[in-house]
């Protein structure tokens, strides 16, 4: 078990390194193949009509004149121990984790990015709880009474949920509950630590619209998983013991059916933490997704790199947690 | 209170017990509605079983033998199943009893062990947890410690070495034979009066099979319970059963005491089964005598005698085998067969054609 | 053919005037186990651990053993579906131990395989015609009379109807599917067929049909069989010679009659006495005669030192744990690997099994 955990963590770290290398290469290597020179790259930091001296200075300061592997190494070093840059007379310290400076506003990437994280985490986590509970519950009830009215209706709604995009359901909810009947008007992100009640009130609509999509998916997954599990031999054994059906379903059926759901849940949550782009856009939440959109439209490479790595980190981390959970749930993984 | 009283209610094998049967099944029918049509899995099966006795139900796949046992346990899927007839367990009719009443009896009065002990145990719980669960369903007053002690005691009884340690193992850490022992421990943890074993040794190796059959026999002697053993293997029933019921196409075609059924089988299907299997206890035959054709579909059971398309003697019944359902008639004391052939004709055929080849 | 065994018998056996069709020497297959932090190889499952045997043209060698004894792995090695770790496989004098897939291709005509499960071994999307005709196409050997005619002849040979050509596997019963599998194996007129549990998935009445078919085909086409099975009665019926495997080793190999009449290895004795016999009268006697092995087969990762059976053997002595008994011929055509064989020519049946008796 111990070896298993160490191996998983080790693999996760390696994976992150590979992702960072690939992303770094894509953003800083490919432009060179396309003919962009280090001068042009450096020019982006300076603004209009840069003088050759200024370019040369920036190039040297940022290490853009060094070979790429050295630049990557500096980048990694910056991530773990910070870096110092000399833009002007004052040396600027780029704090850990240093993702470098924005092309546009010359600010450090990380502080700007990190203040977006709570918003996205709030959005994703709330929605995740909502969809997990509603999706799994719907799926279980559907599976226990296949072809019943409940099953047919909920699976119909689920199909709609999968097909309807968030920008439709989100906009609809917003129109109904913020404008038509202003129960939840004036939505603005409030930090959880400031006012938990307002935090929840203002996030409830984004949660619902995001969760609707996912819970539909999870309801279908759970239903399929439960149908399969409930026909297993060990379910028959549980019934043969004389257990009441409720216990057969929860302790024996659900326990086994949930395992694959947990895996997918980890992936989905990880993906969302890297930015729930459309939902953030619809509800004007200044989250990681919005940050990414802005960075891309500005062609601000350090920012894009930062947000990409952050997203990758979330996915890898969530998968690591899932792997460890898996071992906790399934003794065959733990003890083999 | 029942724990200690049950022990030696067993009648000596051979002597027919005179009391009321512990389990009495009358004209049991279990049909399933499917998209392809009505599946008549069990179609009019009757038998009695006394405590301390073992009934063997023999048949091929699709003969309805497993569905019969699931029906007794109330484990057939009730949604699309239609069940009729009578199942009396200790005088109480299980078909008219509510599902919750049957559930209370399940695991307490009647227990079941299954073919594949690996898939029949939950992979995520330890063997001990699963036995403890089975015990506490019917002994809610027992605390965890008592239940665990009971589980260890049962594991010890079924021959698991170091039961106090192995109780915390997961099923996948057990070997096949040990898993089946653990299944048996789980089934017997509440001292049931009826034990149904559905192909209990089919997934096991011969040497392990011998151990398990021995264990079942020992435990029956000790607890005096009634046992139903369901199998396709005539060797296994011969090892354990006092009475044997042969099923074909959802019906009972022959029923009788084990000795007479093997010595003087009455039904051509039973002859076919005996002729099909190579036997270690006989001189080597040059050729096996198979039954032609394949077992019937339970949706389109042949009219008349379900076995007639495969029966070499169907022509000797003046066409009755294709049009008329044969009834189970007493051919010898306690020995019933459902066959249109006249009894003396049957005996002649068996003596002249079948017996020499067995 | 029985008196021309290849073993070094201390008898003036004349030099065999023909090569055995298949000769296996020291065949080994170890599956690596990886573990620990770096996933280094920490051990090996010694599935097949140095076995020797020969199969002569036209005969049937049966291989019996319990699950995990390596018999199926051995079958896959001989047909070169798996790569041996060591040893040598010669087919008609050609060393095929490490032939590449390409170099094996012409030999695939001569060695064919029949599998256990007739459900998963046939592609459900192909017609019977395509399945049985596939070997012709793969080998670019379209027969003179046309593919369809050849396939239909094969179907008839295997007891199927030529009209089945355009049907799909799901339209057939288990027994018929096994016939389709056999027809496919026969397509290229192989010299040898390796059958892994060819009848164990079939119903009893169908088993006999397939066993008889294999018999007929051997007589008609002069086939050589290597039949792997766990059922000792079936193996006795089909084989000329029988090899008994235990934990990756051949512990006894002999002519059929010699093996079944006077098995020498204690394991073989235990195995045979464990087979349930369809005769309830023998039950009382069997209880006394049966050798009940205790415990389970040890792990092939860590097999016992010396004789691998010693941990379950009632005759084991100190020498059994230190010296591995070699497979030697004690009688003509009867080789056994045991320090204290039973029914041996010199030590006679003086000792009955003691403590482990049932």
Buried b (16+ CB within 10 A) or exposed e, B294-320: bbbebeebeebbbbbebbebbeebeeb
Run of H or E residues at A196: helix A196-229
CB contacts < 8 A (B, C):
137
- Answer whether residue A47 shows pLDDT above 60: yes
For A232, the closest of B111, B119, B170 (CB atoms) is B119
Q: Which two tokens stand for residue B282?
A: 């006989």
Contacts of B229 (CB under 8 A, 6+ apart): B54, B55, B56, B57, B197, B200, B216, B236, B237, B240, B241
- Hunting for tokens 């026909």 — which residue is that? A231
Please tell me the predicted confidence (pLDDT) of residue C105: 86
Q: Is C1 helix (H, G, I), strand (E, B) or coil?
A: coil
**How far, in Å, CA of A273 to CA of A288, rounded?**
8
Contact across the interface for A6 and C37, Cβ inside 8 Å = yes
How many domains are there within chain B?
A: 1
- Answer whether residue C141 shows pLDDT above 90: no
Q: How many residues are present in chain B? A: 358
Question: Using a CB-CB distance cutoff of 8 angstroms, which residues of chain C are in contact with residue B264?
Answer: none
Question: Using a CB-CB distance cutoff of 8 angstroms, which residues of chain A are in contact with residue B138?
Answer: 242
| pLDDT per position as a tens digit, C156-192 | 889 888 889 999 998 888 888 999 999 999 988 899 9
Question: Using a CB-CB distance cutoff of 8 angstroms, which residues of chain B are in contact with residue A326?
Answer: none
Q: Measuring CA to CA, which residue among B67, B76, B182, B186 is closest to residue A236?
A: B76
Q: Which two tokens stand for residue C254?
A: 């002999």
Q: Is residue B334 part of a domain?
A: yes
Contact across the interface for B116 and A329, Cβ inside 8 Å = no
Question: Using a CB-CB distance cutoff of 8 angstroms, which residues of chain C are in contact with residue A3?
Answer: 35-37
Top residue of B234, B275, B276 to mutate, by most chain C CBs within 10 Å, is B276
Question: Using a CB-CB distance cutoff of 8 angstroms, which residues of chain A are in contact with residue C35?
Answer: 3
CA distance B251 to chain A (A): 24
**How far, in Å, CA of B174 to CA of B150, rounded?**
19
Sign of the Cα torsion B27, B32, B33, B35 reads negative
Pairing of strands B110-113, B194-198: parallel
Per cent of chain A over pLDDT 70 is 96
Averaged pLDDT, A289-301? 88
Q: Is residue B132 part of a domain?
A: no
Top residue of C33, C34, C37 to mutate, by most chain A CBs within 10 Å, is C37
Closest B-chain CA to A239: B75
What DSSP designation does C108 have?
H
Contact across the interface for B238 and C277, Cβ inside 8 Å = yes
Closest C-chain CA to A3: C37
Closest C-chain CA to B259: C280
Tell me the CATH number at B51.
3.40.50.300
**How far, in Å, CA of A236 to CA of A231, rounded?**
8
Q: Is residue B14 part of a domain?
A: no
**How far, in Å, CA of B109 to CA of B195, rounded?**
9
Q: Measuring CA to CA, which residue among B275, B240, B238, B241 is closest to residue B350?
A: B275
Question: Using a CB-CB distance cutoff of 8 angstroms, which residues of chain B are in contact with residue C358?
Answer: 210, 214
Contact across the interface for C293 and B60, Cβ inside 8 Å = no
Contact across the interface for A241 and B114, Cβ inside 8 Å = no
Phi, psi of B229 (to 5 degrees): -115, 125
pLDDT tens across the length of chain B (358 residues)? 343 333 333 333 444 445 789 999 999 999 998 888 899 999 999 999 999 999 999 998 889 999 999 999 999 866 788 999 999 999 999 999 989 999 999 999 999 999 888 899 999 999 999 999 999 999 999 999 999 999 999 999 999 999 999 999 999 999 888 999 999 999 999 999 999 999 999 888 888 898 899 999 999 999 899 999 999 999 999 989 999 999 999 999 999 999 999 999 999 999 999 988 888 888 888 888 888 888 888 888 899 999 999 999 999 988 899 989 999 999 989 999 999 999 999 999 999 998 888 7
Beta bridge partners of B254: B246, B337
Q: What interhelical angle do B144-157 and B176-188 show, nearest 10? A: 130
Q: How far is CA B331 from the centre of its chain?
A: 23
- Asked if C21 and C89 touch (Cβ cutoff 8 Å), the reply is no
Run of H or E residues at B179: helix B176-188
CA distance C34 to chain A (A): 11
Q: Measuring CA to CA, which residue among C121, C103, C105 is closest to residue C113?
A: C121
Phi, psi of B95 (to 5 degrees): -75, -35
Cis status of the peptide bond prior to A97, with omega within 30 of 0: yes
- Asked if C199 and C51 touch (Cβ cutoff 8 Å), the reply is no
Q: What is the DSSP string of C163-195?
A: GGGG--GGGS-HHHHHHHHHHHHHTT--SEEEE
**How far, in Å, CA of C25 to CA of A216, rounded?**
61
| Structural domain containing residue B40 | 21-109+192-281+289-358
Contact across the interface for C204 and B273, Cβ inside 8 Å = yes
Contact across the interface for A242 and B105, Cβ inside 8 Å = yes
Instruction: Give the domains, in start order, of chain A with CATH numbers.
Output: 13-110 (no CATH), 117-286 (1.10.3720.10)
Contact across the interface for C236 and B280, Cβ inside 8 Å = yes
Q: Is residue B161 part of a domain?
A: no
For B124, the closest of A239, A243, A255 (CB atoms) is A255
> What is the SS3 assignment for B150-164?
HHHHHHHHCCCCCHH
| pLDDT per position as a tens digit, B26-37 | 999 999 988 888
Neighbours of A (≥3 Cβ pairs closer than 8 A)? B, C
Q: Is residue B121 part of a domain?
A: no
In what side-by-side order are the strands of the sheet with B81-89?
B37-49, B23-34, B81-89, B92-93
| pLDDT per position as a tens digit, B123-157 | 999 999 999 999 999 999 999 999 999 999 999 99
Buried b (16+ CB within 10 A) or exposed e, B170-189: bbebbbbbbbbbbbbbbbbb
Q: Is residue B164 part of a domain?
A: no
Sign of the Cα torsion A177, A181, A184, A187 reads positive
**How far, in Å, CA of C212 to CA of B288, rounded?**
7
- Asked if A137 and A153 touch (Cβ cutoff 8 Å), the reply is no
Averaged pLDDT, A174-200? 82
Q: Does C170 touch chain A (CB under 8 A)?
A: no
Q: Which two tokens stand for residue B71?
A: 């029906």
Q: Is C287 exposed, middle or buried (0-12, 13-18, 19+ CB in 10 A)?
A: middle
For A233, the closest of B103, B107, B120 (CB atoms) is B120
Contact across the interface for A331 and B122, Cβ inside 8 Å = no
Beta bridge partners of B246: B58, B254
Question: Using a CB-CB distance cutoff of 8 angstroms, which residues of chain C are in contact with residue B176?
Answer: 67, 296
Please tell me the predicted confidence (pLDDT) of residue A249: 93
Q: What's the pTM value of the predicted model, to 2 decimals?
A: 0.85
Neighbours of C (≥3 Cβ pairs closer than 8 A)? A, B
What DSSP designation does A27 have?
I
Please tell me the predicted confidence (pLDDT) of residue C355: 36
**How far, in Å, CA of C273 to CA of C62, rounded?**
18
Neighbours of B (≥3 Cβ pairs closer than 8 A)? A, C
Inter-CA distances, B107 with A327, B112, C125, Å: 32, 8, 44
- Answer whether residue C350 shows pLDDT above 50: no
Question: Using a CB-CB distance cutoff of 8 angstroms, which residues of chain C are in contact with residue B312?
Answer: none
Q: Which two tokens stand for residue C202?
A: 């079939």
Run of H or E residues at C94: strand C94-95
Please tell me the predicted confidence (pLDDT) of residue C8: 45
Question: Using a CB-CB distance cutoff of 8 angstroms, which residues of chain B are in contact with residue C293?
Answer: 207, 210-211
**How far, in Å, CA of A206 to CA of A166, rounded?**
9
- Asked if A154 and A267 touch (Cβ cutoff 8 Å), the reply is no
For B259, the closest of C205, C236, C280 (CB atoms) is C280
Q: Is residue B49 part of a domain?
A: yes
Q: Measuring CA to CA, which residue among B60, B114, B49, B57 is closest to residue B87?
A: B49
Please tell me the predicted confidence (pLDDT) of residue C285: 59
CB contacts < 8 A (A, C):
6
Please tell me the predicted confidence (pLDDT) of residue A336: 62
For A335, the closest of B103, B138, B170 (CB atoms) is B170
């Amino acid at each position: 078990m111990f070896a298993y955990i160490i191996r998983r963590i080790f693999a996760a770290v390696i994976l992150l390194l590979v992702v960072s290398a690939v992303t770094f290469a894509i953003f800083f290597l490919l432009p060179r193949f396309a003919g962009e020179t280090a001068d042009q790259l450096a020019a982006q930091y300076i603004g209009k009509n840069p003088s050759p001296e200024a370019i040369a200075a920036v190039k040297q300061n940022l290490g853009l004149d060094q070979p790429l592997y050295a630049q990557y190494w500096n980048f990694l070093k910056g991530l773990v121990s910070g870096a110092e840059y000399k833009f002007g007379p004052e040396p600027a310290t780029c704090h850990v984790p240093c993702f470098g400076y924005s092309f546009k506003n010359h600010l450090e990437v990380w502080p700007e990015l990190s203040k977006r994280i709570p918003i996205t985490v709030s959005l994703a986590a709330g929605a995740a709880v909502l969809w997990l509970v509603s999706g799994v519950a719907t799926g279980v009830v559907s599976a226990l009474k296949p072809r019943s009215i409940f099953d047919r209706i909920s699976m119909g709604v689920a199909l709609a949920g999968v097909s309807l995009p968030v920008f439709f359901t989100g906009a609809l909810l917003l129109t109904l509950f913020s404008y038509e009947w202003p129960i939840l008007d004036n939505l603005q992100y409030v930090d959880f630590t400031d006012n938990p009640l307002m935090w929840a009130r203002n996030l409830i609509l984004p949660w619902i619209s995001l969760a609707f999509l996912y819970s539909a998916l999870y309801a279908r997954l759970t239903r399929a998983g439960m149908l399969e599990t409930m026909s297993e031999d060990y379910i028959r054994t549980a019934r043969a013991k004389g257990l009441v059906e409720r216990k057969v379903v929860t302790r024996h059926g659900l326990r086994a059916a949930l395992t694959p759901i947990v895996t997918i849940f980890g992936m989905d949550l990880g993906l969302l933490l890297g930015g729930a782009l459309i939902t953030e856009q619809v509800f004007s939440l200044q989250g990681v997704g919005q940050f990414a959109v802005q960075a891309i439209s500005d062609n601000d490479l350090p920012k894009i790199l930062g947000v990409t790595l952050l997203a990758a980190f979330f996915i890898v981390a969530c998968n690591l947690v899932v792997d460890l959970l898996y071992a906790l749930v399934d003794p065959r993984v733990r003890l083999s | 209170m029942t724990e200690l009283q049950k022990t030696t209610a067993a009648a000596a094998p051979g002597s027919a017990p005179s009391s009321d049967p512990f389990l009495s099944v009358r004209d049991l029918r279990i049909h399933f509605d499917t998209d392809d049509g009505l599946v008549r899995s069990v179609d009019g099966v009757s038998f009695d079983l006394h405590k301390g006795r073992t009934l063997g139900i023999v048949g091929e796949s699709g003969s309805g033998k497993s569905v019969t046992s699931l029906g007794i346990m109330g484990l057939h899927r009730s949604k699309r199943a239609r069940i009729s007839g009578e199942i009396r367990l200790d005088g109480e009719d299980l078909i008219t009893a509510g599902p919750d009443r049957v559930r209370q009896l399940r695991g307490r009065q009647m227990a079941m062990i299954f073919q594949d002990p690996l898939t029949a145990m939950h992979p995520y719980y330890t063997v001990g947890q699963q036995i403890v669960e089975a015990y506490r369903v019917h002994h809610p007053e027992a605390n965890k410690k008592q239940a665990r002690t009971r589980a260890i005691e049962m594991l010890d009884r079924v021959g698991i070495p170091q039961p106090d340690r192995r109780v915390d193992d997961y099923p996948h850490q057990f070997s096949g034979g040990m898993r089946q022992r653990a299944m048996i421990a789980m089934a017997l943890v509440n001292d049931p009066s009826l034990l149904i074993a559905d192909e209990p040794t089919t997934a096991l190796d011969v040497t392990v099979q011998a151990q398990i059959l021995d264990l079942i026999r020992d435990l029956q002697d000790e607890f005096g319970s009634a046992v139903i053993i369901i199998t396709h293997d005539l060797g296994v029933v011969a090892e354990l059963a006092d009475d044997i019921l042969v099923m074909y196409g959802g019906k009972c075609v022959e029923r009788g005491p084990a000795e007479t059924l093997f010595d003087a089988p009455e039904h051509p299907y039973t002859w076919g089964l005996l002729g099909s299997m190579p036997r270690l206890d006989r001189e080597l035959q040059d050729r096996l005598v198979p039954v032609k054709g394949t077992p019937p579909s339970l949706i389109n059971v042949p009219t008349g005698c379900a076995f007639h398309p495969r029966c070499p003697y169907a022509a000797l019944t003046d066409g009755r085998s294709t049009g008329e359902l044969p009834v189970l008639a007493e051919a010898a004391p306690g020995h019933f067969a459902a066959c249109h052939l006249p009894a003396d004709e049957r005996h002649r055929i068996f003596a002249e054609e079948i017996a020499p080849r067995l | 053919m029985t008196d021309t065994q290849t073993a070094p018998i201390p008898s003036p056996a004349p030099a065999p005037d023909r090569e055995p069709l298949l000769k296996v020497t020291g065949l080994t297959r170890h599956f690596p186990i990886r573990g620990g932090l770096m996933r280094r190889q920490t051990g090996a499952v010694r599935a097949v651990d140095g076995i020797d045997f020969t199969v002569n043209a036209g005969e049937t060698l049966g291989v019996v053993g319990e699950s995990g004894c390596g018999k199926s792995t051995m079958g896959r090695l001989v047909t070169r579906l798996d790569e041996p770790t060591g040893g040598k496989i010669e087919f008609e004098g050609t060393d095929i131990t490490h032939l590449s897939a390409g170099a094996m291709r012409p030999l695939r005509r001569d060695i064919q395989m029949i599998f256990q499960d007739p459900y998963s071994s046939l592609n459900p999307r192909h017609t019977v015609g395509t399945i049985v005709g596939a070997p012709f196409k793969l080998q670019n050997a379209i027969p003179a009379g046309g593919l369809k005619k050849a396939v239909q002849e094969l179907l008839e040979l295997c007891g199927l109807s030529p009209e089945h050509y355009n049907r799909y596997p799901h339209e057939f019963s288990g027994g018929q599917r096994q016939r389709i599998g056999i027809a496919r194996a026969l397509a290229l007129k192989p010299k040898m067929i390796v059958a892994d549990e060819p009848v164990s998935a079939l119903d009893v009445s169908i088993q006999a049909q397939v066993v008889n078919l294999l018999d007929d085909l051997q007589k008609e086409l002069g086939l050589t069989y290597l039949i792997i099975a766990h059922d000792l009665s079936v193996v006795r019926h089909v084989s000329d010679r029988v090899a008994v495997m235990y934990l990756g080793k051949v512990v006894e190999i002999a002519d059929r009659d010699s093996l079944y009449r006077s098995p020498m290895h204690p394991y073989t004795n235990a195995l045979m006495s464990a087979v349930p016999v369809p005769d309830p009268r023998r039950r009382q006697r069997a209880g006394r005669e049966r050798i009940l092995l205790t415990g389970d087969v040890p792990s092939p990762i860590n097999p016992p030192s010396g004789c691998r059976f010693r941990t379950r053997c009632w005759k084991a002595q100190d020498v059994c744990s230190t010296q591995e008994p070699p497979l030697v011929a004690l009688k003509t055509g009867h080789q056994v690997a045991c320090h204290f064989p039973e029914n041996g020519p010199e030590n006679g049946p003086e000792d009955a099994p003691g403590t482990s008796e049932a």
